[in-house]
């Protein structure tokens, strides 16, 4: 696309634009659906999940997801205020959080989900059972 003319150019359509409300709603609904579908597939309830380790794109989105699925927000491992949106690295960076907070060797269920531009590529989500012990005998 050529540069807009100083006089009479279509400057309004020259810049990248986003419908923030629509993107926010899409992210909240999509992430909440991933949690709900994964819990149903694994025969789990929100109370069975000790930690949610999400992609760290936006804290407001994750607050809304928390309310929508009934998992308290304090179970969401949040690193965005410390590191910002680190894109694909956000989940792996946040995974250290639950390990530091778990005080027993009891196996714990952790839910994680991320999107790769969810409007185009889709979501990935799963439940992981982990323990501080070496083996989950």
| 62, 114 contact by CB (below 8 A) | no
| Domain assignment present for 6 | no
**What is the per-residue DSSP string for the chain?**
-PPPPTTT--GGGTS----HHHHHHHHHHHHHHHHHHHHHHTT--GGG-SEEEE--S-HHHHHHHHHHHT--GGGB---HHHH---GGGHHHHHTHHHHHH--S-S-EEEEEEEESIIIII-EEEEEEEE-SSS---
Number of domains in the chain: 1
Domain containing residue 62:
19-130
Residue 101 belongs to a domain: yes
For residue 122, tell me if it sits in a domain: yes
Q: Give me the CATH number covering residue 50.
A: 3.40.47.10
CA 105 to chain centre: 26
Does residue 76 lie within any of the structural domains? yes
Which tokens belong to 89?
């690295």
Q: What share of the chain has pLDDT > 90, as a percent?
A: 17
In a domain, 121, yes or no: yes
The answer to the question of residue 92 being in a domain is yes
Q: What is the per-residue pLDDT across 16-74, written as a single tens digit (0 to 9) for each?
A: 777 889 888 988 998 899 899 989 998 989 988 888 888 877 889 999 999 999 999 99
The answer to whether position 137 is within a domain reads: no
Residue 10 falls inside a structural domain: no
Confirm whether pTM is higher than 0.75. no
């Amino acid at each position: 696309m050529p540069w807009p003319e100083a006089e009479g150019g279509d400057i309004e359509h020259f810049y990248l634009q986003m419908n923030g409300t629509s993107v926010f709603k899409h992210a909240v609904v999509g992430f909440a659906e991933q949690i709900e579908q994964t819990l149903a597939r694994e025969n789990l309830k929100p109370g069975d999940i000790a930690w949610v380790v999400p992609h760290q794109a936006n804290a407001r989105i994750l607050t809304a997801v928390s309310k929508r699925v009934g998992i308290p927000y304090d179970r969401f491992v949040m690193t965005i205020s410390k590191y910002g949106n680190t894109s694909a690295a956000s989940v792996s960076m946040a995974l250290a959080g639950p390990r530091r907070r778990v005080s027993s060797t009891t196996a714990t269920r952790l839910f994680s989900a991320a999107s790769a531009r969810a409007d185009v590529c889709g979501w990935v989500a799963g439940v992981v059972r982990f323990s501080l012990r070496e083996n989950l005998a």
